[in-house]
Amino acid sequence: MRHSNKDAFYKILVEFKKFSNQDLGEDSFREMLDRAIEDGEINDLDFKESWIRYDKLSKLILSIANYGGGNIIFGVSEKDNKFNPVGLDEFKNKADIIKGIENYIPTNLINLIQIQDLEYDKDLYSELQDMKFQVMSISSEDKYLPYLSIKEDDKIHKSRVYTRRGTNIVEADNHEIEEILERKVNSIFSNRKTLDLESHLSQLKELYNHISKTKTNYVNGALHEAFKPLRKSMSRVTGYSEKVDNENYPELSFEQFINECIADKQNRIRDELDI
């Protein structure tokens, strides 16, 4: 996670602090949150006052990943739709967290999880002076969807597809599963198109390599013209050679062909944009 996110999270937490002392409705809260994340760096937030059991945490992580990714901020209490940054007593060991959730979560998702410690000192972040927070950022790669739980426990079922519905964690219904699978198919199709393009270009380049751009003929130095009559008379016996263009070589070089393809694609995009 980029360091700049520390400031973005600070901005959100300060807004929460202000909001917790006001009697505002849900719409006002949403407007506040939209303003706080208007830079677009932070998406789909969830909040916990402290670290929770690993089975519950894993269920939350799976739901966020299947939904498209997001962040969990630890150190924020929630009551009556008000979020108050209270901070953590201490940072939880990141290795212990990963060890605790890896029993429930597939490895390809574990690799997409990052945990950041946020501590705000009074010099730069006076409104959250000496408070500690931890943020778990969960990415999602559509090609791995759906992410399924791999272990059964009190708060989680094995091989279930969890997702987000509003702020709730739910088992995906048919419509939600279809949407998740559609994202997976689109990702695979997109990747295959890219691979196919690379394969085609590689094969084309290989074909070009099998045709010499020039023919190698004998080229003389300063005596070339002087011996030209002799060479002509002897050519019937010894023959001679010089380098000339190969008429069988494609009119367009490989680089020229790629350049024309790029130009065609640019024109196609301009047509789509009506410019």
- SS3 per-residue string spanning 75-96: CEEEECCEEEECCCCCCCCHHH
The pLDDT tens digits for 96-105 are 999 999 999 9
Q: Which residue has the higher pLDDT, 121 or 143?
A: 143
Which carries the bigger pLDDT value, residue 152 or residue 27?
152
pLDDT for residue 180 is more than 80: yes
Residue 97 lies in a domain: yes
- Whether this prediction's pTM lies above 0.95 is answered by no
Residue 91 domain flag: yes
Residue 193: what pLDDT? 63
| CATH code of the domain covering residue 165 | 3.30.950.30
List b or e across 12-31, with b for residues whose CB sees 16 or more CB atoms inside 10 angstroms.
Answer: bbbbbbebbeeeeeeeebee
Does the pLDDT of residue 111 top 60, yes or no?
yes
Q: Is the pLDDT of residue 1 over 60?
A: no
What confidence tier does 39 reach under pLDDT thresholds 50, 70, 90? very low
Closest CA to 163 of 44, 42, 34: 44
Six token digits for residue 209: 């390599």
State mean pLDDT over 138-167: 93
Residue 94 CA to residue 108 CA, distance in Å, equals 18
Helix (H, G, I), strand (E, B) or coil at 168: strand
**Which residues are paired to 119 by β-bridges?**
132
Q: Per-residue pLDDT tens for 40-89?
A: 445 578 889 999 999 999 999 999 999 999 899 999 887 776 778 899 99
Q: Considering the chain, what is the average pLDDT of its residues?
A: 78
* Residue that wins the pLDDT comparison between 15 and 115: 115
- How many separate domains does the chain show? 1
Confidence of residue 10 (pLDDT cuts 50, 70, 90): confident
Can you give the pLDDT at residue 3?
39
Q: Does residue 52 lie in a domain region?
A: yes
* More confident site: 273 or 8: 8
Percent of the chain that is helix, strand, coil (3-state, to 5): 45, 20, 35
- pLDDT (0 to 100) of residue 214: 66
- pLDDT band, very low/low/confident/very high, at 219 (cuts 50, 70, 90): low
108 within some domain: yes
Residue with tokens 């009119």: 251
**Residue 40, pLDDT score:** 41
What whole-number distance in Å separates Cα of residue 11 and Cα of residue 125?
A: 10
Per DSSP bridges, beta strands 113-120 and 82-85 are: unpaired
80 belongs to a structural domain? yes
Domain that holds residue 39: 4-172
Distance (Å, rounded) from C-alpha 69 to C-alpha 141?
9
Residue 77: exposure state from Cβ atoms within 10 A (0-12, 13-18, ≥19) = middle
Bridge partners, 46 (sequence order): 72
Q: Is the pLDDT of residue 233 over 70?
A: no
Count the neighbouring beta carbons within 10 Å of the beta carbon of residue 33: 17
Residue at 200 is within a domain: no
If you average pLDDT over residues 206-233, what whole number do you get?
59
pLDDT at position 148: 96
pLDDT at 147: 96
In a domain, 210, yes or no: no
Cβ atoms within 10 A of the Cβ of 122, count?
A: 10
- 60 falls within a domain: yes
Using the predicted structure, report yes or no on whether residue 246 has a pLDDT greater than 60.
yes
Average pLDDT over residues 131-140: 93
Nearest CA-CA partner of 118 in 72, 83, 78, 77: 72
3-state SS class at 151: coil
